[in-house]
Structure formats: structure tokens, C-alpha cells
Amino acid sequence: MENVFDYEDIQLIPAKCVVNSRSECDTSVTLGGRTFKLPVVPANMQTIIDEKIALYLAENDYFYIMHRFEPEKRIEFVKDMHARGLFASISVGVKEDEYDFIQQLKEEQLVPEYITIDIAHGHSNAVIEMIKHIKKNLPNSFVIAGNVGTPEAVRELEHAGADATKVGIGPGKVCITKIKTGFGTGGWQLAALRWCAKAASKPVIADGGIRTHGDIAKSVRFGATMVMIGSLFAGHEESPGETVERDGFLYKEYFGSASEFQKGEKKNVEGKKMFVEYKGPLQETLTEMEQDLQSSISYAGGDKLSSIRNVDYVVVKNSIFNGDKVY
């Protein structure tokens, strides 16, 4: 790979405005046959989303993916969302129990509209087998598979039946994969997204490394249909992470899904914990994201999200650590 770059290295170039107000710009996106207000989904992590947030997002036409770290609650979750006339979007792993879980869903005629296979190294036979198992038993579920960081992986997962792939190995704020293993897309996530999206024939979800709202527009420019975000969603009133007070300021806990805090043991740890500043209600951030993205669309010279896809850009600097501290 040549000419790698990350979010902070790119500036999109404005085109002539065609709207009279940013409010005319439409930020909605379609994924799996549903239309959502924003091309943004909070990360399927235990300090980012819980049942209450999932319900709020679904009721208000935002996409969501429930995490998989309380597996015993998933059947009830799907039933509850369906009882409310809402879509169910859950996550699974690849271990043996998960095969039984998919079987159970089938037996109970519960068909989640979206199933995300949530694995660190998604370019694997384990994920390919799970895609096939889901597609065989729940053919109407939209399957998102990940995470990956190469075009080969995107093609293989799509070929196995994935309806979308999720790109990002190690760019996350609480990720230490790049430090512990030497591998990943951390520091060049945006270039990796471009590389993968060019190979994709189905939607790509950019996952990790989003530090500003402008990074959402940049992700769309480089091929993302949807953008998964953890750290920017960690500090809300509703965020499930613990709230702590330090020197009169409030903070919320945010930990990695492969951290000892999630796993309950120090085995194959590839995530850390941090505290992010408290930032009030979730809806305020969603509204601000929408307004910022409307503005991005206007700078792109259009009135819908797809206008961003074709804008020119420049590479203005190069910084491999993506603004993060190493630990």
C-alpha cells in the first residue's frame, strides 16, 4: 500500500453550494432496506449501548447494533423490539454456543433484521462459517461481518454471504491491538477504508478512529455507507459506562471489548479503559452530528449524502498516531 493517510491528514475541497440553507441537506442513508437519519451507528460495546439506548435509537429512526456481551438477554431483546414494532439488530460471536443461539432464533421464528458478527480478526474461516450458518437458518437477516482491513477479506466475506462488511482493525480509541500485536489499520484507517471500499460490492461500515464530526463526511467520501463510533458516544448521560467525579468534573467510563474489564480476566487483552468527559444528552450529539453533516453536504455542492462521495481532497499532513496517546 502506498500513499496511506488518516482522517487528520485529509481536507475535503469545497464545491459550489446549491442550497439556500443547510437544513435542505438530507443526511439519511439506507442500509438493509431501512432508511436511517444518519450514516452513524454507536459501537456495539457495553459502555456505549444498552437496551434503553437501542430502543431510543430505533424509535427515532437511527441505526443501532446491540452488543453481544450479555448473550442470555438477546432472545428477550429481539422479542421486545418486535413487540414494539421496531427492528432488532443484535451481535454474535463465533464460538459453538453462537451456532446454537442462531438455531434457537430459527426454532422460535425470531428473525432479527440485522445480525452483526463481531470478531477482532474477521478475515477467518470462523466468520465465513458463521455467515453461512446464519444465511442458511435466517436468510432474511441482514448480516454485517467484521472486522477486516483488506480488500481480500471484504471479497471473501461478501462471497460467503455477508450483506455488509465492517472495516477497522485497531484504530479505536481504547484499542491496543496495534501496540500489542504490531498489526492493524490504526494510523491509516481512512486509507484502509478506501482500499476496502474499492473492492466491495456491498455496503462498507467504517469502524473506529472517528475523532470529530468531520471524520464522518471523510468516511463517506472514502466509501463508507455507515460509520461506527465508540468514543464520541461514550460520555453521554445515557451511556452505560460508570459515571465518576474528579475535581468537580464528571467523566464516563469507556472500555474496550477486548479489555480485561470486559473479559473479567487478563487473557489476550487488546483493549484498555479510559474516562471521557461527560457531555450531556445523547440526542444533543446526534443533532449536532446531523447539522455538521448537513453542512458537509452543502460544502460538497449537493443536497444529499451521496454528494460527498465525489468531492476532491488534499493530503495536508501525516501523523501515524492519529492523535491518540500510545497507552
Ligand X SMILES: NC(=O)C1=CN([C@@H]2O[C@H](COP(=O)(O)OP(=O)(O)OC[C@H]3O[C@@H](n4cnc5c(N)ncnc54)[C@H](OP(=O)(O)O)[C@@H]3O)[C@@H](O)[C@H]2O)C=CC1
Give the residues lining the site for ligand X (CB under 6 A). 93-95, 118-121, 126, 147, 168-170, 172, 175, 177, 208, 257-258, 268, 270
Q: Is the dihedral of CA 232, 53, 279, 29 positive or negative?
A: positive
Which CB, 24 or 288, lies closer to ligand LQESDW3C? Answer: 288
Give the three-class secondary structure for 114: strand
Q: How far is the CB of 228 from ligand LQESDW3C (least distance, A)?
A: 5
Binding site annotation covers 221? Answer: yes
The residues that touch ligand LQESDW3C, with contacts defined as CB under 6 A, are: 43, 45, 147, 168, 170, 172-175, 177, 207-210, 228-231, 256-259, 270-271
DSSP string covering 168-195, please?
-SS-STTB-HHHHHS-SSTT-HHHHHHH
Q: Which of 215, 170, 244 is nearest to 308 (CA)?
A: 215
Tell whether 301 is in a known binding site: no
- As measured in angstroms, the least distance from the Cβ of 245 to ligand LQESDW3C is 23
Q: Which residue is nearest to ligand LQESDW3C (CB)?
A: 271
Residue 43 CB, shortest distance to ligand LQESDW3C, in Å, is 3
Least gap, CB of 302 to ligand LQESDW3C (angstroms)? 26
In whole angstroms, how large is the CA radius of gyration of the chain?
Answer: 19
The reply, when asked if residue 89 is annotated as ligand binding, is no
Note if 175 is an active site residue: yes
222 labelled binding-site residue: yes
**Which position among 17, 25, 175, 196 bears the catalytic label?**
175
Using the minimum distance from each CB to ligand X, give the nearer residue, 16 or 267.
Answer: 267
Q: How far is the CB of 11 from ligand X (least distance, A)?
A: 26
Least Cα distance to 28 among 170, 226, 223, 203 occurs for 226
Contact of residue 210 among ligand X, ligand LQESDW3C, none (CB under 5-8 Å per partner type): ligand LQESDW3C
Contact 150, 196 (CB under 8 A): yes
What is the DSSP annotation of 126-170?
HHHHHHHHHHHH-TTSEEEEEEE-SHHHHHHHHHHT-SEEEE-SS
289 known member of a binding site: no
Is 213 labelled a binding residue? yes
In the chain, DSSP assigns E strands to 10-12, 29-31, 34-36, 40-42, 89-92, 114-118, 142-148, 164-167, 204-207, 226-229, 243-246, 249-255, 273-277, 313-315
- How far apart are alpha carbons 275 and 35 in whole angstroms? 33
The residue (of 270 and 290) whose beta carbon lies closer to ligand X is 270
Q: In this complex, which beta carbon is closest to ligand X, that of residue 257 or of residue 294?
A: 257
Q: Which residue ranges make up the annotated binding site?
A: 204-227
Catalytic residue set: 175
Q: Which residue ranges make up the annotated binding site for NADP(+)?
A: 204-227
